[in-house]
Copies of this chain bind each other. A is one copy, B any other.
């Protein structure tokens, strides 16, 4: 039986019904395989993002490493919030402010060197509250859903506000989603000469903050087809939900609601780094299916 980790309920039946309809070659809602595009937000949708996104913890550790080599970093106005140890100051930077600090920290590195640093960090770093490897804070029912969709001819993509390269460092191993199916916030890169050849180096400049409307713009740029399935957990995902739901054929929008304080975290409207308000308020009106982590998922983590 598919989706064994999903409890019987509205969310599970909406997914099963949708997949049945779009794969039924003789039915009115059949969607040819190449058009079965499913996009998933990452932070809070595929893995935990509370009290701060994994990327923020990564940045925090990187800054401390870099400050050992270059102590003047601690005086930098952009980075001082991270060295203060005051979470409120970090949160006050907002998701885009954090991304800018993230970009500045990695300027001058080659793409490949950054990938190695990120992979090494993910193999060792643990969440301060649940003491699990961040890489193990993925949601097992979502892994099952991704696999189920791919078995049914869907292509699965990540469309995240987080930095593209950090996600690419683990998405293939964690989710079965290869780098070319990851869309995220990006930093400008440039070509530099390296021996007889060339390589790509990161600059400190944020190129695209992949949030809200920009998620849809980047789906257009990278995929070139309107998704028929969207999963998200915040207002940052609301524009892409509306984009999918406005397609001509069948579509499904899933909204993960963090309502399980025992097994994960409870948050929505007040979460400064990625609030959920409008998408929740308008879910019924627009036909967005809310996933209750508490009721709908038998298990959270692997």
Chain B residues with CB under 8 A of A168: 224
Given contacts A178-B34, A243-B198, contact A221 B191 (CB under 8 A): no
Which of A57-65, A94-102, A182-190, A267-275 contacts the other chain?
Answer: A182-190
Q: Is the CB of A164 closer than 8 A to any CB of chain B? A: yes
Query: A-side interface residues toward B, CB under 8 Å?
Result: 34, 37, 111-112, 155, 157, 164-165, 168, 172, 178-182, 186, 188-191, 194-200, 213, 216-217, 220-226, 239, 242-243, 245-246, 286
A217 to B189 alpha-carbon distance, docked (Å): 6
Q: Contact check, A220 vs B198: say whether CB atoms are below 8 A apart.
A: no
User: 16 A-B pairs, CB-CB below 8 angstroms?
Assistant: A34-B178, A111-B224, A164-B224, A165-B224, A180-B181, A180-B223, A182-B224, A189-B217, A189-B221, A191-B216, A191-B217, A191-B239, A198-B216, A198-B242, A199-B246, A200-B243
A196 to B197 alpha-carbon distance, docked (Å): 51
Q: Contact check, B200 vs A216: say whether CB atoms are below 8 A apart.
A: yes
A249 CB → nearest B CB, Å: 12
The one of B165, B196, B224, B243 in contact with A180, judged by C-beta atoms closer than 8 angstroms, is B224
A165 to B217 alpha-carbon distance, docked (Å): 14
Q: Which 7 A-B pairs rank lowest in CB-CB distance, beginning with the nearest?
A: A197-B246, A179-B224, A191-B213, A200-B220, A180-B223, A197-B242, A168-B224
Q: Contact check, B165 vs A190: say whether CB atoms are below 8 A apart.
A: no
Q: Contact check, A222 vs B180: say whether CB atoms are below 8 A apart.
A: yes
A220 to B111 alpha-carbon distance, docked (Å): 8
Chain B residues with CB under 8 A of A34: 172, 178
